[in-house]
Amino acid sequence: MGADLLLAYVPAAKITKARRRVLHRLVNELTDEEANCDEINSISDERDTRQMLHEHVDLLPANPCVHRDVVELSLPHIPYPLLFTGGHSWGDSPSNFFDAFCCLGYLQPIYRQLRDWAVEDGQLRRSKVCRRKSA
């Protein structure tokens, strides 16, 4: 018996201070049912789940390129890039970001907001590239 490979992902939105505040607001607006679902409680032992979610929002990297356990990938047929983290696990979290990505990726209001920002950021990047090429 060996280790399992575990991966988690969230949309690769640029996380600014203003966007982080929006994510904290979304955590506050979650219903108790959303914030205390089985998928999230399986990660959270005794701590307050909503407080844990706020900590996960704070953990989202503003610059994922400086973290060895996070990679940004663009996949075919997905119109926005994703941040992946993970590794081998023997029952523990395989990386510092794994639990955060699992929880935040599971919550639809937060995932949708990250996705919308990732799409918006991608459109801005493409328009900057196009302007550079045409100059």
Please state, in angstroms and rounded to a whole number, the distance separating the CA atoms of residues 47 and 99.
14
Please state, in angstroms and rounded to a whole number, the distance separating the CA atoms of residues 10 and 116.
12
Question: pLDDT value at position 7?
Answer: 93
pTM of the model: 0.82
What does residue 76 show for φ and ψ, rounded to 5 degrees? -60, 140
Please state, in angstroms and rounded to a whole number, the distance separating the CA atoms of residues 29 and 23.
10
Rounded to an integer, the average pLDDT of 77-86 is 92
Question: pLDDT value at position 64?
Answer: 80
How confident is the model over 88-128, as pLDDT tens digits?
A: 988 888 888 998 999 899 999 999 999 999 999 987 665 44
Question: pLDDT value at position 61?
Answer: 87
Question: pLDDT value at position 96?
Answer: 82
Please state, in angstroms and rounded to a whole number, the distance separating the CA atoms of residues 67 and 63.
8
Question: pLDDT value at position 42?
Answer: 66
Residue 100: name the closest of 64, 75, 131 by CA.
64
Question: pLDDT value at position 45?
Answer: 52
Rounded to an integer, the average pLDDT of 11-30 is 96
Please state, in angstroms and rounded to a whole number, the distance separating the CA atoms of residues 36 and 50.
8
pLDDT at 38 over 80: no
pLDDT at 41 over 50: yes
How confident is the model over 46-79, as pLDDT tens digits?
A: 458 888 899 999 999 888 877 888 999 999 999 9
DSSP-based three-state secondary structure for 67: coil
Give domain limits for the chain.
Answer: 4-134
